[in-house]
Amino acid sequence: MIYEFSQFGRHLGCGSGIEELMDDLGHALASGGPDLKMLGGGQPARIPEVNAVWHRRLEELMEEPGGLNRALTSYDPPRGNPRFLEAVAGLFRRTFGWDVGPDHVAVTCGGQTAFYFLFNLLAGPMPDGTRRKILLPLVPEYIGYANQGVAGDLFRAVTPRIETTGPHEFKYHVDFDRLAVTPDLAAICASRPTNPTGNVLTDEEISHLAALAKAHGIPLILDNAYGAPFPGIIFTDATPYWAEHVILTLSLSKLGLPGTRTGIVLGPPEIIRALGSMSAIIGLANPNIGQQIILPLLESGEILRLSREVVQPFYADQCRLARQAALEEFGDDFAWFMHRSEGALFLWLWFPGLPITAAQLYERLKQRGVLVVSGHYFFFGDDSPDWPHRHECLRVSYAMDEATVRDGLRLIGEEVRRCYRTGGE
């Protein structure tokens, strides 16, 4: 029997770039054996000191009167547990002096769901018959956004200005000369640090984007999945930012709890109420377990200490080792750059003039037991679809152990070197 899908079903139920990517990575991991170099996913590292905190909290929940009920056997309100919402707001009031309360906070089933809700709440077909889009001020940007519009493409993006910052290093900047905020835009959105590049928009860039959004009466959405104050995977100066027209999203995933699917949204109360309504309609309520695990860490501030003293140093060291390995394994006998590493879990590699596409290079590396991500997935909505740069980049995770990352980079270097030498044959 052949079933006819609706437009919604065709858009979300008939494949996407991120589905193909995750399916490919999952099958490769299941069948690749112990020698597979899994450098392609966004899985955070399992940090022993962090895991010890989760073990402690689970034991405490088992011993606390009603702890198991709060974590597993009861529905929370659609926006989240009231005590958790107050704990989030209280942390930001104490730490940054922001004028926020529980009415500014909502929980979602992971950060991915938060963006599905936000993008479709603000953009797409409007009641007056017009269509509105989300402006990405800089691509490459997170692949998980790309297919989230229930009524088709939601994005307009601007290709970046590229600054060479070292012999094998570069950095993307927002090209404000080419960035235009037009009446058909519903919001401006950027991740900080950026997945896939590890780029951190400067305080000046954030202030400029916030001013543009405010002047045009639209929100600025900042994806803080890797950023400050938690999980704090950020290696440069970057001041956390919030204002009355800013929507800040956070997540417990990169702190080390991806399985709890806990996203956090800080924003205007009108937006927050709408998110609660959407959660109720789509899923009744959100998972409790992540909220209950992290609740006392928010109230005491331990989450900030854990991020600052354990999570950030761990990834900073991983990043240093990975960058040094790339310098040693790639050498100077072919053209290559990596984006300045300012946060997140990834090296973003650029091979100017690569004789084959990054997608083809991905397939060749997979045959050699190295899983990475082709950079072309992260360029969507941009105004330069034929830009060669989009087919010359790879995303490489350095969350694995040092030996795995180094060996993977060695094989990448060998394959790219062969491509340049043979013209891609």
Same fold, 7-49+308-422 and 75-305: yes
Predicted local confidence at residue 240, as pLDDT:
95
Convert the pLDDT of each residue in 327-367 to its tens digit: 999 999 999 999 999 999 999 999 999 999 999 999 999 99
Q: Which CATH class is domain 75-305?
A: alpha beta
Predicted local confidence at residue 25, as pLDDT:
65
Convert the pLDDT of each residue in 74-103 to its tens digit: 999 999 999 999 999 999 999 999 999 999
Predicted local confidence at residue 24, as pLDDT:
66
In this prediction, residue 150 has a pLDDT band, given cuts at 50, 70 and 90, of: confident
Predicted local confidence at residue 18, as pLDDT:
67
For the chain, domain boundaries: 7-49+308-422, 75-305
Closest CA to 175 of 30, 381, 316, 383: 383
Cis peptide before 140, with omega less than 30 degrees from 0?
yes
Arithmetic mean of pLDDT, 217-221: 98
Predicted local confidence at residue 21, as pLDDT:
65
Closest CA to 49 of 304, 227, 289, 311: 311
Predicted local confidence at residue 385, as pLDDT:
66
Task: Output the CATH code of domain 7-49+308-422.
Answer: 3.40.640.10
Predicted local confidence at residue 263, as pLDDT:
97
Predicted local confidence at residue 6, as pLDDT:
80
Predicted local confidence at residue 76, as pLDDT:
93
Predicted local confidence at residue 255, as pLDDT:
95
Predicted local confidence at residue 5, as pLDDT:
79
User: 397 to each of 38, 208, 318, 328, 404, how far by Cα in Å?
Assistant: 8, 30, 10, 17, 11
CB proximity list for 225: less than 8 A, separation 6 or greater: 111, 191, 195, 249, 250, 251, 253, 254
Q: Is 56 strand, coil or helix? A: helix
Arithmetic mean of pLDDT, 263-288: 96
Q: Is the pLDDT of residue 179 over 80?
A: yes
Model pTM score: 0.94
Give bridge partners of residue 297 from the DSSP assignment.
Answer: none
In this prediction, residue 10 has a pLDDT band, given cuts at 50, 70 and 90, of: confident
Average pLDDT, the chain: 92
Closest CA to 398 of 337, 327, 326: 326
